Amino acid sequence: MTYYQFIHAVEEKIKKEVKEERKISVHTNIKNNGVKRTGIMISENGINISPTIYLEEYFQQFKRGYPLELIVKDILSLYEKIRFQNSWKEGEKVKSYDFVKGRIIYRLVNRERNRKLLEDVPYKEYLDLAIVYYVLLEMDEYGMASMLVRREHLKMWKVSEEDIYYRACKNTQKLLPYDFSTMRSVIMELLEIGREIEEQTGKMYILSNVMRSYGACAMMYPDLLRKIGEELEENYYILPSSVHETIIVAESEAPGKEELCEMIEEINETQVEEEEVLSNRAYYYECDTGKLLF
């Protein structure tokens, strides 16, 4: 069975399982960096926000022998869980700017890779990147639910791009405080090990947000880069390891900028999911001038 045959089979089986007042449709969305993801949307009358449950991972399970009937059951269980947890309470409220203005946040994406997306959304240029905006609908220990802000939303809310930029600058650092950890502590946490790895990591740090989700934008938080420079007591490089975090490397610990860029490009091509790539460039922070160069 091909992927598209799988999608059709899932769609037909779900249609037989759900109530008639629920509409089942297949949607292909353009995600970050132009990556296309296909999913099932289950919508109900009078509800403006419906979750799209993406199918790529389920198809991999199917290829490994997981029965189609159980996959459909899992999808419907996930849908009901989301529906129960959210109670669709945000559906009408997102039309109100008074409701969303305290929830508007920013994220950083690659400008060149997202040219098509940027035709439809408000954005600001930053280095070789673009600042885009989201409404943070919900956040818990499992992750975040958010809605991309499009130009049509600005018209609906009757606000300017400058206004949502102002709101995002105010909200993002408040809702998603930064997390600045040594590379050693992060590796130990991920691998659950306690052995000494200080020599391999040196003066290297991970900069993200407390959710470690789309946390590369923490490098934009006011005065944060200056504080990092004071801690390191020297100039440093910012390596965009993904949209979720950056790596901070003291200049005394780093090879030349050209070598760093080559290293970032190789890692992006071989180890980072296409949807999570941020940039192939290394950024350089000068403590004396407070400038971030690329």
Q: What length does the chain have?
A: 294
Residue after which a domain boundary falls, among 125, 154, 175 = 175
Is 136 in the same domain as 35?
Answer: no
Closest by Cα among 237, 2, 286, 283 to 126? 283
Is 101 in the same domain as 170?
Answer: yes
Range of the domain at 117: 93-175
Is 58 in the same domain as 99?
Answer: no
CA distance linking residue 285 with residue 294, whole number of Å? 9
For residue 209 the two structure tokens come to: 């947000």
Q: What is the pLDDT of residues 13-53, one digit of tens each?
A: 998 888 777 788 888 888 899 888 888 888 776 555 667 88
CA distance linking residue 192 with residue 164, whole number of Å? 40
Distance of CA 151 to the CA centre of its chain: 20
C-alpha pair distances (Å), 197 with each of 27, 62, 200: 46, 40, 6
Closest by Cα among 176, 167, 182, 169 to 223? 169
pLDDT value of residue 227: 96
pLDDT value of residue 24: 87
Is 288 in the same domain as 189?
Answer: yes
pTM of the model: 0.82
Is 166 in the same domain as 203?
Answer: no
Number of domains in the chain: 3
Decide: 191 and 184 in contact? Cβ < 8 Å: no
Is 122 in the same domain as 186?
Answer: no
Beta strands in 149-215 (DSSP E): 178-182, 204-209
Neighbours of 168 (CB within 10 A): 23
Would you report the helix, strand and coil content of the chain in percent, each value rounded to 5? 45, 25, 30
Would you give per-residue pLDDT tens digits along the chain (294 residues)? 888 899 999 999 998 888 777 788 888 888 899 888 888 888 776 555 667 888 888 999 999 999 999 999 999 888 877 766 655 455 667 889 999 999 999 999 999 999 999 999 999 999 999 999 999 988 877 677 888 999 999 999 999 999 999 999 999 999 999 999 887 765 555 555 444 444 455 678 999 999 999 999 999 999 999 999 999 999 999 999 999 999 999 999 888 899 999 999 999 999 999 999 999 999 999 999 999 998
Is 31 in the same domain as 64?
Answer: yes
Closest by Cα among 255, 122, 80 to 284? 255
Q: What is the pLDDT of residues 117-134, one digit of tens each?
A: 999 999 999 999 999 999
Is 283 in the same domain as 192?
Answer: yes
Is 66 in the same domain as 102?
Answer: no
